[in-house]
Amino acid sequence: MHLLKLISRNALRHKLRTSLTVLGLMVAVLAFGLLQTVVGAWYAKAEAAKANRLVTRNAISLVFSMPLSYRQKIRTVEGVKQVSLANWVGSIYKEPKNFFAQFAVDDMYFDAYPEYVMSEQQKHDYMHDRRGCIVGRRLAETYGFKVGDSLAMRGAIFPGDWNFVVRAIYDGAEKNTDSAQMFFHWDYLNETVKIRYPRRLDQVGVYIVVAADSDNSARIALDVDKLFKNSAAETLTETEKAFQLGFISMSATIVEGVRLISYLVIFIIMAVMANTIAMTVRERTSEYATLKALGFGPGFVGALIYGESLVIALAGGVLGILLTFPVGAGFASQLGKFFPVFQVSLATVQLQLVCAVVVGLAAAVLPARQAGRIKIVDGLRSIA
């Protein structure tokens, strides 16, 4: 108890220095948490992937499509429960800066993705409206979409004007569910393509293959690809997670750079913290010598230094953690188009806390060692 009282009093002896150090630690831990959350947002869709969902695409590239006839053949593979399809549609809403994911999907798509939750009435309205579309909750909040609104888009991959009616707004069943997407009927896309671009008729971007048992996913992927071996459009089938990680790998350097910067921030504040503790030890050389003269050993002196360093580090760390949530929510509202899932995870909070503790301990190692080696005579000689 007396040790804790001494530690707390020592930490507050230089209030300005302590306050500035705590402020620096708070900013560093906050920055670390936000950068780690950005990295987590990059991996959000991969983490939300289901083990029994597979994605089949053209083996050359996603740019190339596959015939609609592949769907019936994939259904014949043993262990396949369901086959759905989707096409990426790069349309523009009002201005080029208004970017969000849009997919033309078949009616079975939402059976494959039960995490997209909407009312049965809204789903019914969507199914019975050829121009109907479904938007995610985050997307609706970003652009003010409401059920019944008309939605005019300007096509890029499929040029021309496209008109939709918002028939449903879906919510994510889980926190890491992407709710910043738009879906509409693949049949509507195909019928329009038939008129405008007949050569692109009955072409599919990806097939979503749902396995009856996730343990058979690897075998099913091989069997599907065997079906189209040496065909005009060979396929590559992989788990949904592997498919998403393939996108992330394209920007792997950026992701690793962000991760590296987050730890660099912690390293810099560790150096600042170590300098602060070193200054404190130099100023209290005579006090530590006096404690030794009274019979207190190097362990007690070291405990005072480690304790003070940990108190300061934890104060800054806890404040940084507490600020991460409101600041992260602000980032999410501003960057929702780029990071549909942007949430501070428990793992990030734990990392922040661990970093604060590590900074507190590491910053005190050399100063505590120095104080423990102070000779009583030398220390008392420093008294003015």
On whether the CB atoms of residues 162 and 152 are closer than 8 A, the answer is: yes
pLDDT of residue 377: 61
Average the pLDDT over 48-60 and give the result.
91
Residue 336 pLDDT greater than 80, yes or no:
no
What is the share, in percent, of the chain residues with pLDDT greater than 70?
88
Average the pLDDT over 17-40 and give the result.
88
Helix (H) or strand (E) holding 154: strand 150-155
- List the beta bridge partners of residue 169: 135
On whether the CB atoms of residues 317 and 29 are closer than 8 A, the answer is: yes
Q: What is the pLDDT of residues 239-285, one digit of tens each?
A: 999 888 877 776 667 778 888 888 888 888 888 888 888 887 777 76
- Report the alpha-carbon distance of residue 161 to residue 64 in Å, rounded: 23
Average the pLDDT over 67-75 and give the result.
95
Average the pLDDT over 307-321 and give the result.
89
pLDDT of residue 212: 93
pLDDT of residue 289: 66
Instruction: Kindly report which listed range (175-179, 200-204, 358-362) carries the lowest average pLDDT score.
Output: 175-179
Q: What is the pLDDT of residues 108-146, one digit of tens each?
A: 999 999 999 999 999 999 999 999 999 999 889 888 999
Q: Answer with the residue of higher pLDDT: 67 or 365.
A: 67
pLDDT category of residue 353 using cuts at 50, 70 and 90: very high
What is the share, in percent, of the chain residues with pLDDT greater than 90?
42
- Burial of residue 65, with CB atoms counted within 10 A of its CB: 0-12 exposed, 13-18 middle, 19 or more buried: middle
Highest-confidence segment of 45-59, 183-197, 258-272, 363-377: 183-197
What is the C-alpha radius of gyration for the chain, rounded to an integer number of angstroms?
30
Average the pLDDT over 351-375 and give the result.
83
User: What is the four-CA torsion angle of 319, 325, 329, 330, rounded to 10 degrees?
Assistant: 0
